[in-house]
Amino acid sequence: MNENACRIDIWLWRARFVKTRSLAAGLVERGAVRLTHQGRETRLDKASRCVHVGDLLTFAQNGRVTSLKVEGLGERRGPAEEARALYSLTV
């Protein structure tokens, strides 16, 4: 892993979309997360897949579909304000 990429399960946890990394991994492994990287959309199947700044993520959780753009990778799971800086919602 380098400073320009982050595992998807770690990113979802840092951005506070899930409470634990294992829940994030389960979300990814169920096929509920789609990643658009450099114009190519793929359904993620492994929690070890990487996410980069500028990528688009679409995932279903609790009956809601969320689409967002990755704005930062973060270094820790900080407060909610810090987590919200990691992404911007897309419509």
Give tens-digit pLDDT for 20-43: 999 999 999 999 999 999 999 999
Residue 1 has pLDDT above 60, yes or no: no
Predicted confidence band at 63 (pLDDT cuts at 50, 70, 90)?
Answer: confident
Q: Which long-range contacts (CB under 8 A, 24 or more apart) does 66-71 make?
A: 66/17, 67/91, 70/11
Question: Where along the chain do its domains lie?
Answer: 5-89
Global pTM value: 0.91
Locate 38 and state its tokens.
Answer: 């450099």
Q: Three-class SS of residue 8?
A: helix
Query: Which residue carries 């688009």 as its tokens?
Result: 56
- CATH code for the part of the protein at 5-89: 3.10.290.10
